[in-house]
């Protein structure tokens, strides 16, 4: 709903949510006004990276017979909409996305040491490599709805069963969210505060 379908990759439709399109227009507008297209180019490439991350999850999920309805891009990131997540595949599906981002980040980081594209004095590949590595650390926070939460549950469920593991993982997520909120308020870090709310309600 309220999204535009771009094209299909691996038979999966890639869709842009209306809020994503508005966000993109604002970023491009600001870039033009400031005579600096660096941020617009970076933003677009970041979302290509996010699509690759989601395709990583999707690729492994398909091997477990999961049907992937679409990959939806929102201003805060991407989601691969799946009909179900099989318990036995959850660990591998969860790891696949961060693994793609990590490989991408490291590859870009190495390339950027030899060659980079400078836009208005900003190194494009280097910045993109850091953003991909940040995406990995952000996603590995062991809390829902982050990949780390799913990975944690998959590991726990081997010992405690699925339902109990979900509860444990959700509680760890809530505690982490509270710790981040306190840290965010103390340091007046808006991003940390937003992430903590995101994690709390996800849990
Ligand atoms: Zn992911």
Q: pLDDT-derived band of residue 203, with 50, 70 and 90 as boundaries? A: low
Sign of CA dihedral 105, 191, 148, 152: positive
Mean pLDDT of the chain: 86
pLDDT in tens, 14-56: 888 888 888 888 988 888 888 888 888 988 898 899 999 999 9
Q: What is the pairing mode between strands 77-82 and 118-119?
A: unpaired
Q: Please compute, for residue 85, the number of CA atoms within 13 A of its CA located in the half-sphere on the CB side.
A: 15
Residue 101 vs residue 166, higher pLDDT = 101
pLDDT for residue 120: 84
Helices (H), 4-161: 18-33, 38-63, 90-114, 124-139, 147-160
| Assigned token pair, 9 | 């990759």
Query: pTM higher than 0.75, yes or no?
Result: yes
Burial 36-45 (b: 16+ CB within 10 A, else e): eebbbbbbeb
Instruction: Say how many Å lie between the CA of residue 183 and the centre of ligand 1.
Output: 25
Provide the pLDDT confidence category of residue 102 given band limits of 50, 70 and 90.
Answer: very high
C-alpha distances in Å from residue 113, one per residue of 60, 102, 129 = 31, 17, 11
Judged against a pLDDT cut of 90, whether residue 109 lies above it is answered with yes
* C-alpha 119 – ligand 1 centre gap (Å): 29
Question: Tokens standing for 88?
Answer: 């036995």
Element (H, E) at 123: strand 122-123
| % of the chain at pLDDT higher than 90 | 25
CA–centroid distance, 6 to ligand 1, in Å, is 21
pLDDT tens readout for residues 135-183: 898 888 887 778 888 888 888 887 787 788 888 878 888 888 888 888 8
* Residues designated as active site: 54
- Taking the centre of ligand 1 as the mean of its atom positions, its distance from the CA of residue 35, in whole angstroms, is 34
User: Over the stretch 178-200, which tens digit does the pLDDT of each residue have?
Assistant: 888 888 888 878 777 887 877 77
Q: What is the DSSP letter of 21?
A: H
Ligand 1: centre distance to CA 120 (Å): 31
* Mean pLDDT computed over 113-140: 90
β-strands 12-17, 68-74 pairing: parallel
In 3D, which of 44, 39, 94, 35 has the Cα closest to residue 64? 94
Local structure of residue 16 (DSSP, 8 states): E
What pLDDT does residue 124 have?
Answer: 93
Which residues, in sequence order, are CB contacts of 66 under 8 Å at separation 6+?
82, 83, 84, 85, 86, 89, 93
pLDDT given for residue 161 in this prediction: 78
Q: Which residue is associated with the tokens 């999707």?
A: 58
pLDDT band at 1 (very low <50, low <70, confident <90, very high): low
């Amino acid at each position: 709903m309220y999204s535009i379908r771009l094209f299909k990759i691996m038979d999966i439709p890639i869709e842009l949510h209306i809020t994503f399109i508005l966000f993109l227009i604002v970023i491009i507008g600001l870039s033009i006004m400031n005579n600096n297209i660096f941020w617009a180019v970076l933003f677009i490439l970041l979302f290509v990276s996010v699509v690759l991350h989601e395709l990583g999850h999707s690729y492994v999920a398909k091997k477990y017979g999961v049907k992937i309805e679409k990959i939806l891009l929102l201003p805060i990131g991407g989601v691969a909409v799946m009909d179900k997540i099989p318990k036995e595949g959850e660990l591998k599906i969860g790891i696949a996305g961060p693994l793609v981002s990590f490989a991408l980040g490291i590859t870009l980081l190495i390339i950027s040491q030899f060659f980079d594209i400078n836009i208005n004095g900003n190194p494009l590949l280097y910045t993109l490599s850091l953003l991909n590595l940040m995406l990995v650390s952000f996603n590995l926070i062991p809390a829902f709805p982050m990949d780390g939460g799913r990975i944690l549950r998959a590991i726990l469920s081997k010992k405690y069963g699925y339902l109990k593991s979900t509860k444990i993982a959700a509680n760890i997520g809530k505690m982490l969210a509270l710790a981040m909120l306190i840290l965010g308020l103390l340091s007046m870090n808006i991003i940390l505060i937003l992430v903590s709310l995101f994690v709390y309600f996800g849990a």
